[in-house]
Structure 1
């Protein structure tokens, strides 16, 4: 079945959809994005994703586009038109079409808004069942990782380095401390049961799934420390996991070839994954 996509107010067959070669997202990486999970044909965590989208737009002085109700309608319509039961909806917003120039075009330049769906097994994920093997890589990204831009070349390079090493993903390290995963937030569970994840700053993406999982962890009485940790501390942890809209809560079972615990997904990660999925199914829209 040919997917239906959304481009600047139109629903189009994917092979009929185009964006100008002069779009600043293509020329300058001048664009932001969001991704929402879809479970049982309904969207997860849209208020958080839409709020972060607005935050990214404000940080880059991008003009307003559709309001949240209109954005939700477009998301839901794409899910409906593509009969998507489980997977993802990607949104990309660029500053629009203008002659190449480092300076931003004027506010009269309309932004380019594109959305598309992608079918994926989110709940019954093979990776979540067996746990992820990660390697560490130096964090060479720019200094505003809290803005969710389409500048994803270095995370792609880190993922390819992981693949070349026979691993599933990479955790990025700066000044001897883990920042986050290549496309996820990183957590460890210490041997005395404390849940540790890096505090919010411009060093990491302010994960929507991260926030939900921390709230659920507090609800079940886990002690939480929002601070940086070293790769060595992670390797000595009882367990580890990563969170994102695409992976939800996925256990990490080895770091740089060193197994964590018994080398299988840990109980804390499994419990938080179950709680997150249950809550997502209750609140999806």
Structure 2
């Protein structure tokens, strides 16, 4: 079955989708994006994703190309055309097409919108949940506003490639003070030696993940206390559990970092409890 995409007003075959060579997202990375999980025929946490999209657009001063209702209609149509029941939907908004110049186009041009979707096999994540993943630490050399979900992800790309070459599946960024920030494409959590669930505060140094926010809701429902504070690599390595959260991974255990096993080297119970309760707590929007 062919895949389909939406590009600036048209639904086209994925293989035929194209943008202008002067689109500012291509030339400057002058664009923001969102990724939503699709599970059992529902878009997960759509309202929170679109709220964050609005914030990102506001932070870099891009005018939304359409209303939220119209955007939701496009997301649903792309998912329907691709027959996605379990998978993901990706949307990207750039400042638009204009002659190459660092300053904003004047007069203002219409923002560009791309939407794609694909199916994912739930069994693949299930296998990762059962075994856990490995990670490596890398220096956090990203720009100072990673709280804005822009497409400028070169540092993340290089970090994840470094992880892959080390036989790991995620990179964990560490700031100049030796404190953990987040994963290359995920937020990071530990269960410390006292049994407290800990994650870094959502300041400018990390992206305030939508799954991260919903995990806090889930933890509250389960009676699990959450502490937002900075923590060191040493504390992470000595933790009872380490796990990452993201839209397409939900709550994924990390069982080894830099070649050192976390606790007994097996996935922990906290991550499993949160994952098992996640879908019941998360917002679900029917396709």
Q: TM (normalized to structure 1)?
A: 0.96
The residue correspondences of 1:110-189 to structure 2 (distance < 5 A) are 110-122=110-122, 125=125, 126-174=127-175, 175-189=177-191
Q: Where does structure 2 lack aligned partners over 5 or more consecutive residues?
A: none
Report Cα offsets for 1:59-80 as digits up to 9, x if no partner: 0000122222211111111111
Instruction: Give the secondary structure class of the aligned counterpart of 2:76.
Output: helix
Instruction: Give the secondary structure class of the aligned counterpart of 1:25.
Output: helix
Cα distance in 1 between the residues matched to 2:162 and 2:112:
32
Cα distance in 2 between the residues matched to 1:82 and 1:159:
28
Cα distance in 1 between the residues matched to 2:107 and 2:269:
51
- Corresponding position of 1:238: 240
How far has the Cα of 1:245 moved from its partner? 0.3
Cα distance in 2 between the residues matched to 1:122 and 1:115:
22
Instruction: Give the secondary structure class of the aligned counterpart of 1:268.
Output: helix
Runs of 4+ aligned residues of structure 1 deviating over 2 Å after TM superposition are: 121-124, 277-280, 282-285
Answer yes or no: is the 8 Å Cα contact 2:42–2:284 preserved in 1. no
Matched pairs, number: 284
How far has the Cα of 1:123 moved from its partner? 6.6
- Corresponding position of 1:208: 210
Instruction: Give the secondary structure class of the aligned counterpart of 1:205.
Output: coil
Between 136-145 and 36-45, report the one with greater CA deviation: 36-45
CA 243–107 in structure 1, closer or farther in 2 if over 3 Å, else same? farther
- Corresponding position of 1:4: 4
- Corresponding position of 2:192: 190
Cα distance in 2 between the residues matched to 1:182 and 1:124:
20
How far has the Cα of 1:193 moved from its partner? 1.4
How far has the Cα of 1:15 moved from its partner? 2.3
- Corresponding position of 2:90: 90
CA 37–244 in structure 1, closer or farther in 2 if over 3 Å, else same? same
Instruction: Give the secondary structure class of the aligned counterpart of 2:194.
Output: coil
- Corresponding position of 1:80: 80
Report Cα offsets for 1:18-70 as digits up to 9, x if no partner: 10000000110100000001112221110000000000000000012222221
Report Cα offsets for 1:142-165 as digits up to 9, x if no partner: 000000000111101111111111
Answer yes or no: is the 8 Å Cα contact 1:44–1:284 preserved in 2. yes
Between 103-112 and 26-35, report the one with greater CA deviation: 103-112
Report Cα offsets for 1:224-261 as digits up to 9, x if no partner: 11011111000100001010101111011111111112
